[in-house]
Amino acid sequence: MLSKTFTLLFYLKKRGNYSGGKLPIYMRFTIDGHRIEMTTKRECEPDRWSISSGRKVGQKEDVRSLNAYLDSLQTKVYEAHRALVDSGKPVTANGIKDILTGVADKPRMIIEIFKEHNEEMLALVGKDFARGTYNRYEAALRNVQEFLLYKYKVKDISLEKLDYSLISAYAFYLKHKRNISHNTTMKYLVYFKKIVLICVKSGWIIRDPFFAFSMAKQEVDRRPLDDTELKAIETKILPNERLRKVRDIFLFCCYTGLSYVDVQKLKRSEMIDGVDGKKWLSIKRQKTDTPSKIPLLQIPLNILDSYADHLHCQAQDKLLPVMTNQRMNSYLKEIADVCGIERNITFHLARHTFATTVTLSNNVPIESVSKMLGHKDLRTTQHYAKIVDKKVGNDMEDLRRKLEIKSSI
């Protein structure tokens, strides 16, 4: 039985600069609200066209020939619709178009579709997407390309071969051959799955091959620095300038909540006079392109003062002389050892420390923390802001006193 939402229409399409004469005849078919327009490569005078019948009016041979051609097109559309129904494939407007244009006879290739997606994303960088998002999808594309060459010795693969076993093999490749952590592997699979879901929604594959594939992340110890650890890093006398510089930039982010990419590009013009007359940072987050304004506490102000005359900062118009993320993380391990902190410290931990130890633990409302972190959604802030035991203890102590006062009345 044909879809109740399937409609077909022939009509004349008027151009913006139309002043008279024939107009092109277009064909439009709509399924479940999704419409496709295609040219018939024929034309007709507007005064000879019947809107109700979608055909040219008249009895001459040229009229009969044109209408017969439109009838044949209509038949092809219904046959394409029937072919999709009989084959069990999703009945979509794109599916019908593919049959009519012959694209359905050519296998769709996953890398080709991935590249098209990324090209469209690149065109929307600065509008719908941040540059960092595009870069992550480009990295994900390269990973899939390298996997196909390694596993199947091919540069691309058709959607027909995209199944659960291929995805499992890809995950194994990332973990075993590329030595990528489980959680980062899951991130790359999320990017890949988005491309696959485009194929499902377009009707190019029937079933999501990620179905039943577990993409759960492992719980990672991302405990922020506590007051004692933070104080140890602040006060430790470090043996050389290299470690002191990394320590200063790390502490700056612990007291501002900036990520590595945001502090790395931080310009002098982004330090402004705030509404309270004191110094603030006013930036747009690289990851989300979201505005963020952060009042500067005394510790980050002191750090900025100490690098005001730094040659790198003056030459690059930067506030801080930030080195590569890889080197920063490497040196942070040295700093942790020197300070007696027996766990792995990465640069991103500074953001967690700001959210929890510096702000929420000192009763800064989560809404204010969220704005300073540049989050679009409060739930994202809650991911960073795991309430530490100290604050839970303080809150319960306040409750205990209130209950004691009530019971004594």
Same domain, 239 and 320: yes
Query: Does a structural domain hold residue 12?
Result: yes
What pLDDT is recorded for position 387? 60
What pLDDT is recorded for position 1? 43
Same domain, 185 and 284: no
Q: Which domain holds residue 138?
A: 110-201
What pLDDT is recorded for position 162? 92
On whether the pTM is more than 0.85, the answer is no
Q: Give the contacts of 307 (CB within 8 A, at least 6 positions apart).
A: 248, 313, 319, 320, 321
Read off the pLDDT of each residue in 74-95 and give the average, rounded to a whole number: 87
Query: Does a structural domain hold residue 283?
Result: yes
What φ, ψ does residue 202 adopt, rounded to 5°? -80, -5
Domain count, the chain: 3
Same domain, 68 and 158: no
What pLDDT is recorded for position 245? 94
Domain boundary among 87, 105, 123: 105
Query: Does a structural domain hold residue 38?
Result: yes
Same domain, 60 and 170: no
Residue 285 confidence class, pLDDT cut points 50, 70, 90: confident
User: C-alpha 216: how far from its chain's center?
Assistant: 18
Structure-token pair, residue 66: 């044109």
Residue 2 confidence (pLDDT) above 50? no
Distance CA 225, CA 204 (A): 49
CB 373 within 8 A of CB 292: yes
Residue 201 confidence class, pLDDT cut points 50, 70, 90: confident
At 369, which CATH number?
1.10.443.10
Same domain, 73 and 188: no
On the 0-12 / 13-18 / 19+ scale of CB atoms within 10 A, 370 is buried
Query: Does a structural domain hold residue 221?
Result: no
Read off the pLDDT of each residue in 303-307 and give the average, rounded to a whole number: 94
Which of these, 114, 115, 95, lies nearest to 105 by C-alpha position? 95
What φ, ψ does residue 275 adopt, rounded to 5°? -65, -20
Query: Does a structural domain hold residue 182?
Result: yes
Same domain, 118 and 84: no
The secondary structure element, H or E, covering residue 344 is none
Give 30-70 pLDDT, tens digit per residue. Answer: 988 888 999 999 999 999 999 999 999 999 999 999 999 99
Beta bridge partners of 32: none
Contacts of 62-69 with C-beta under 8 Å, sequence gap 24+, read: 66/42, 69/40, 69/42
At 182, which CATH number?
1.10.150
Domain boundary among 184, 201, 218: 201
Give 349-384 pLDDT, tens digit per residue. Answer: 999 899 988 998 888 888 898 889 888 778 778 776
What pLDDT is recorded for position 141? 96
Distance CA 357, CA 386 (A): 9
Same domain, 169 and 244: no
Same domain, 13 and 97: yes
Query: Does a structural domain hold residue 367?
Result: yes
For residues 154 and 3, the model is more confident at: 154
Number of helical H runs and strand E runs in the chain: 16, 8
Q: Give the contacts of 71 (CB within 8 A, at least 6 positions apart).
A: none
Domain boundary among 201, 217, 244: 201
Residue 78 confidence (pLDDT) above 70? yes
What pLDDT is recorded for position 73? 94
For residues 309 and 377, the model is more confident at: 309
What pLDDT is recorded for position 156? 94
Read off the pLDDT of each residue in 241-268 and give the average, rounded to a whole number: 93
Same domain, 157 and 241: no
Mean of pLDDT over the chain: 88
Distance CA 322, CA 249 (A): 7
Residue type, 18: Y
Same domain, 191 and 231: no
Query: Does a structural domain hold residue 213?
Result: no
Same domain, 189 and 139: yes
Same domain, 390 and 265: yes
- Between 141-145, 203-207, 341-345, the lowest mean confidence (pLDDT) is in 203-207
What pLDDT is recorded for position 385? 60
Which of these, 53, 160, 39, 14, lies nearest to 97 by C-alpha position? 39
Query: Does a structural domain hold residue 220?
Result: no
